Amino acid sequence: MELRNIAIIAHVDHGKTTLVDAMLKQSGTFRENQLVAERVMDSNDLEKERGITILAKCTSVDWRGIRINIVDTPGHADFGGEVERILSMVDGVVVLVDAAEGPMPQTKFVTGKALGLGLRPIVVINKVDRGDARPHQVHDECFDLFAALDADDDQLDFPTMFAVGRDGWADDSLEGPRKDLSSLFDLIVRHVPPPKCDLDAPFAMLATTLEADPYLGRVLTGRIHSGTARLNMAVKSLSRDGDLLEQFRISKILAFRGIERVPVESAEAGDIVALAGMTKCTVADTICAPEAVEPLHAQPIDPPTLAMIFSVNDSPLAGQEGDKVTSRVIGARLYREAESNVAIRISETPGKDAFEVAGRGELQLGVLIETMRREGFELGVSRPRVLFQTDENGKRMEPIEEVFIDVDEEYSGVVVEKMSLRKAELTGMRPSGGGKTRVTFLAPSRGLIGYHGEFLTDTRGTGLMNRVFHGYAPYKGPIDGRRNGVLISNGTGEAVTYALWNLEDRGTMFIPGGVRIYEGMIIGEHTRGNDLEVNALKAKQLTNIRAAGKDEAVKLTPHRRLSLEQAIAYIEDDELVEVTPKSIRLRKRLLDPNERKKADRASKNSD
């Protein structure tokens, strides 16, 4: 059967997953009356809640006797490790662009990777029914973007289609019949070359994604590079350096048919399949016939830019809400994550009860923590820190991100002011349609930690901020951190509403009355710059004197609830976020006030 392998790449929320849904429906993958979830490719709970794609997924459609394998890729730069590996499995890319927003930073990041691999793009300008759509200008912007990314003449001669993925149509021109996606399918078949492969050579396949199946064990997905894979065939796996990892028999071959994986007896070069039977082989390793000696080339992955410490939860409430609390269990889970996600790096700290997890960004690490807490883990998580490098002259270099901000014109001033405080350099400012201004910056990654929440407040929730890793640049000097101190509980027990009401003039509370607190836990933000220990357990004194207004019900100002990402961005270096399946608490790293004073004195003396 003839094959085509394509990836759909685009910026977050430009409609990739919705378009794939429409392609599956129109190719006859679903029955007419079959009940199918919306955004069927975003299958895990976090993807559905956040409305983003986190893991790359494969599917396939049959179009007039030709099988088209489609890979739906993540749109966030934090999950770029997924994108880079996936592109090595395909022979063409569909670049999906919003007709109003145009090519956004994520489009630039992924398209740059695709063009670098020599893939020829098809541009689909989606959402042309929007009131502020400007499809022809967006087409010109795509050309400019490809030219800026050093595309060759073949890549610059790209075909363009106009579409509304939600309504299930795509046409060569805006005046087309707007009936279905058949012209898009035909274009993919014409424009994307069939996979180049040698069926007579020994079997070889590069593993690109890994998952654990409760019945099959390790399952590795990838494209067969040469030869044929057969059930129960003896194979071996080679590391990137060519070292022999293990020898095993293929116990299962799963091919993608629609949204399901179907067991098959054999699969030929060019097809994307999942294999089972291995115990050690992992992502970027080569699975091959016993006579093969050279591993297949694996795409290099950009290095991590942020690191956080994941430690055992040692608070007085430890072990009461989760069942996975020991360093051994936490370490095993993190190393398992690092196997399937090559963009994450795990290292043990000298104390052996904590692990440093390095990754691409706050979102990637936040998703990992959220996944772990849903699995029943309890953790203490530190403030993220950026990973510096040293150049050949011994100069300290820090990661820089390109930041694209779309805001209403009235808020552009405050955004520029706040970004300049974070050592960002303004690189461009232009109108982006609909009364909005697009402002671009080059900013140090450490300056952006925790800024997103403040940005949404400053722009009344109307601003859009996108960021993508740009490179390393010389250290830009110190950046001011949080300006306010915190309110710290000086006792252990249940927070009393009356006590919190009395503390309201001292600052903003993070907790309501009636929750369990402990000594050293952060219960609010102080109005001043210093930390303050407070008593949130003090009940109202009962007297036998009745007076007007004496027994009025206490009304608390609603407390400020921090999400996981906000809590991680809020804390300072001497603080931790305690994460359990039911709670997110802020605390001081050292719970005992005397220990904190000693540590404070020691740090001042060392300075």
Residue 48 lies inside a defined structural domain of this protein: yes
The answer to whether residue 85 is domain-embedded is yes
Question: What CATH number is associated with residue 589?
Answer: 2.40.50.250
Residue at a domain's end among 191, 214, 239 = 191
**pLDDT greater at residue 561 or residue 547:** 561
The proportion of the chain whose per-residue pLDDT surpasses 70, expressed as a percent, equals 88
Residue 345 falls inside a structural domain: no
pLDDT of 56 = 44
pLDDT surpasses 90 at 231: yes
Q: Does residue 400 sit in the same domain as residue 445?
A: yes
Q: What is the per-residue DSSP string for 524-585?
A: EEESSSS-EEE-S--PPPP-S---TTTTPPP-PPPP-PPPHHHHHHH--TTEEEEE-SS-EE
pLDDT confidence bin for 297, thresholds 50/70/90:
confident
The Cβ of residue 450 has, within 10 Å, a number of other Cβ atoms equal to: 21
In a shared domain, residues 264 and 144: no
Across the range 230-252, mean pLDDT stands at: 91
The answer to whether 17 is a known ligand-binding residue is yes
427 appears as a binding residue in the annotation: no
Alpha-carbon gap, residue 515 to 506, rounded angstroms = 19
145 and 186 share one domain:
yes
Residue 8, pLDDT above cutoff 90: no
| Domain limit, last residue, from 130, 159, 191 | 191
Domain with 459, as residue range(s), is 389-474
CATH of residue 9: 3.40.50.300
Residues 168 and 258 in one domain: no
Does residue 61 sit in the same domain as residue 183? yes
pLDDT tens for 115-157 read 888 899 999 999 888 888 889 999 998 998 898 888 899 999 9
Biggest CA-to-CA distance, the chain: 98
Query: Is 129 assigned to a binding site?
Result: yes
Q: Do 147 and 123 share a structural domain?
A: yes
pLDDT tens-digit profile of 476-510? 988 877 778 999 999 999 999 889 999 999 999 99
pLDDT band at 235 (very low <50, low <70, confident <90, very high): very high
Check whether 303 has a pLDDT greater than 80.
no
Q: Which two tokens stand for residue 37?
A: 């979830």
127 marked as part of a ligand binding site: yes
What pLDDT was estimated at residue 506? 92
- d(Cα 519, Cα 490) in Å, to the nearest integer? 5
Q: How far apart are CA 287 and CA 228, in angstroms?
A: 12
Is 436 a residue whose pLDDT tops 70?
Answer: yes
Supply φ then ψ for residue 560, to 5 degrees.
Answer: -90, 115
| Contact by Cβ (8 Å): 391, 585 | no
Structure confidence at residue 312 (pLDDT):
93
The answer to the question of whether 14 is labelled as a binding residue is: yes
Structural domain count, the chain: 4
Residue where a domain terminates, one of 242, 262, 288: 288
* Domain CATH for 425: 3.30.70.240
pLDDT for residue 191 is more than 90:
yes
Mean model confidence pLDDT for the chain: 83
Claim to verify: residue 78 and residue 130 sit in the same structural domain? yes
Q: Which of 123-127, 133-137, 445-449, 550-554 has the lowest mean pLDDT?
A: 550-554
Q: Is the pLDDT of residue 302 over 50?
A: yes
> Does residue 275 fall inside a structural domain?
yes
Q: pLDDT (tens digit, 9 = 90+) per residue, 306-359?
A: 899 999 999 999 889 989 999 999 999 998 888 767 678 899 888 778 999 998
pLDDT of residue 306: 87
Q: Is 16 annotated as a binding residue?
A: yes
Q: Please tell me the predicted confidence (pLDDT) of residue 585.
A: 94
Whole-number pLDDT of residue 37: 37
Give the pLDDT confidence score for residue 542 in this predicted structure: 67
Is there a single domain that holds both residue 601 and residue 571?
A: yes
Instruction: Check whether residue 41 and residue 123 sit in a common domain.
Output: yes
Q: What is the pLDDT of residue 36?
A: 38
**Quick one: pLDDT band at residue 474, thresholds 50, 70, 90?**
very high
Residues 142 and 247 in one domain: no
Using a pLDDT cut of 90, give the percent of the chain over it.
31
* 141 and 99 inside one domain: yes
Please name every residue paired with 486 in a beta bridge, in sequence order, or none if there are none.
525
| Residue 198 is assigned to a ligand binding site | no
Phi/psi for 588 (5° steps) reads -80, 145
* Together in a domain, 417 and 457: yes
Tell whether the torsion through CA atoms of 190, 195, 199 and 200 is positive or negative. positive
CATH number at residue 231: 2.40.30.10
Residue 225 is assigned to a ligand binding site: no
The answer to whether position 150 is within a domain reads yes
Residue 294 lies in a domain: no
- CA angle centred on 101, ends 96 and 103, rounded to 5°: 50
Q: How confident is the model at residue 101 (pLDDT cuts 50, 70, 90)?
A: confident
Angle subtended at Cα 484 by Cα 483 and Cα 490, rounded to the nearest 5 degrees: 150
| Residue 598, token pair as written in the block | 């000693």
User: How remote is the C-alpha of 444 from its chain's centroid?
Assistant: 19
Q: Is 91 annotated as a binding residue?
A: no
Q: Is 314 annotated as a binding residue?
A: no
* 76 domain-assigned: yes
283 contacts 208 by C-beta, under 8 angstroms: yes
Average pLDDT over residues 168-178: 87
In a domain, 279, yes or no: yes
